[in-house]
Copies of this chain bind each other. A is one copy, B any other.
Amino acid sequence: MTQSTLARSWIASANGHSDFPLQNLPLGVFSLAGSTPRSGVAIGDHILDLEAGLAAGLFEGQAKVAVEATLGGTLNALFALGRRARVALRERLIELFVEGSTLRAKIEAQSASLLPLAADCTMHLPARVGDYTDFYVGIEHAKNVGKLFRPDNPLLPNYKYVPIGYHGRASTLRASGTEVRRPKGQTLPAGQTEPSFGPCARLDYELELGIWIGQGNEMGDAIPVSEAGEHIAGFCLLNDWSARDIQAWEYQPLGPFLSKSFITSISPWVVTAEALEPFRRAQPQRPEGDPQPLAYLLDEQDQATGALDIELEVLLLTQAMREQNLAPHRLGLSNTLNMYWTAAQLVTHHSVNGCQLQAGDLFGSGTLSGPERSQLGSLLELTEGGKHPVELASGEVRKFLEDGDEIILRARCTRDGFAPIGFGECRGKVIAAR
């Protein structure tokens, strides 16, 4: 029952084109006007309020333990329980919502527990993030960015050995829908030797996969790659908003700092590791001549099934497009198969020095561009550093983002014989600098 199938739900909106069919059942934290945040599960265009469901007696045994861990408005405690609790909850949710469920009447009698996923429902961060780490494992992105600086030698010598990453800012992680205030900062204008201070003029997005850490480890204990999958609770979309002009001036020698820390947006629904099981793939063959990963990063099972086949999309909606009723413009369509390392390899690398991971930590994958122009995950790549503007149906052009521009990330998994699942959206609209 935990494997995806083509089973349908008695909730009609969950069947067909919903991101949230019976096979997905993502977890999130929501609030209605005036109420405190509560945990829920999305199905079709509805949310099951887990606390109300618990009060209505919908859960028992391990599933009840799992739901009790979601009380209090964050999923950290559930993540800490690990896979077994998530699986028990998932199995029970499938029993509750599958077409023909004998429990339908019981749920429908509890109008408080099944709520419309409507505009008056605010989504929050699903967990309190202790630490947020941003990786750089989209190799096409790394090549594209490297080419702007080093045309003949875009990848640094460590790239194919080290899953490159850096610590990000946890305090400014925000759920989809939060406005993105244009940051101010120091930049070095072209041709100048002294910096200026002012609003960012090269504001960009980055299309990334987010990885939620489940059970953590003690400081000093590395997580073997064969066990790393057990430490991953689920996934989301992540927009690593980037101020390219601030970044260029500040990042030597210690890496990006204020160019990233003004906000990072994520999609609020945690698509569990279990929901993604059918969309696991063999890690793509490394190109001829690429080195094998060092032994601590290699596991046969992970090589065979550790990659993910998730289609990723990034769209732009400008103020003029909204006024002209134009559909969002697709800037890129990519896939998580562009990750040079698996999620399990990231967990293992991160902990190999003894670094403690904790339930609710978040990883970003790094920008997941593909090799084609239609598959790029940032404007920096798409416009080659602002040299070639993107043309929009509204008659506008963009080198970088302007105030009023909204970026929309979407993701979807499809496979013959399995119900497709989606991630919901990660949206953010740019507003003027203060």
Contacts and interface: CB of A to CB of B under 8 A. Distances in A.
B296 A355 contact: no
Interface residues of A, number: 63
Nearest to A221: B434
A190 to B, nearest CB: 14
Interface stretch (A21-29, A245-253, A317-325, A330-338): A245-253
B172 A136 contact: no
B353 A184 contact: yes
Contacts of A350: 258
A252 B244 CA distance: 18
Contact of A170 (B130, B164, B188, B352): B130
Contacts of A158: 186, 188, 195, 249-250, 252
B166 A255 contact: yes
Contact of A167 (B166, B263, B353, B355): B166
A167 B186 CA distance: 18
A353 B258 contact: yes
A254 B253 CA distance: 8
A256 interface: yes
Interface string A219-253: 11110000000000000000000010010011111
Given A172-B219, A194-B291, A165 B254 contact: yes
Interface stretch (A80-88, A303-311, A356-364): A356-364
Interface in A152-196: 156-158, 161-162, 164-172, 174, 181, 183-186, 188, 193-195
A105 interface: no
A197 interface: yes
A254 B164 contact: yes
A263 B249 CA distance: 29
Interface in A352-397: 352-358, 361
Contact of A354 (B167, B262, B352): B262
Given A181-B354, A186-B162, A294-B195, A169 B131 contact: yes
Given A158-B195, A158-B250, A253-B255, A357 B171 contact: yes
A148 to B, nearest CB: 12
A33 interface: no
Given A181-B354, A263-B354, A250 B164 contact: yes
Given A162-B195, A258-B352, 4 more contacts: A169-B355, A172-B219, A184-B352, A219-B263
18 contacts: A136-B254, A156-B253, A158-B195, A158-B249, A158-B252, A161-B195, A166-B166, A172-B355, A174-B219, A181-B219, A181-B220, A184-B353, A219-B263, A255-B255, A255-B256, A258-B353, A262-B353, A354-B434
Q: 4 closest A-B pairs (Cβ-Cβ)?
A: A255-B255, A183-B353, A167-B167, A166-B254
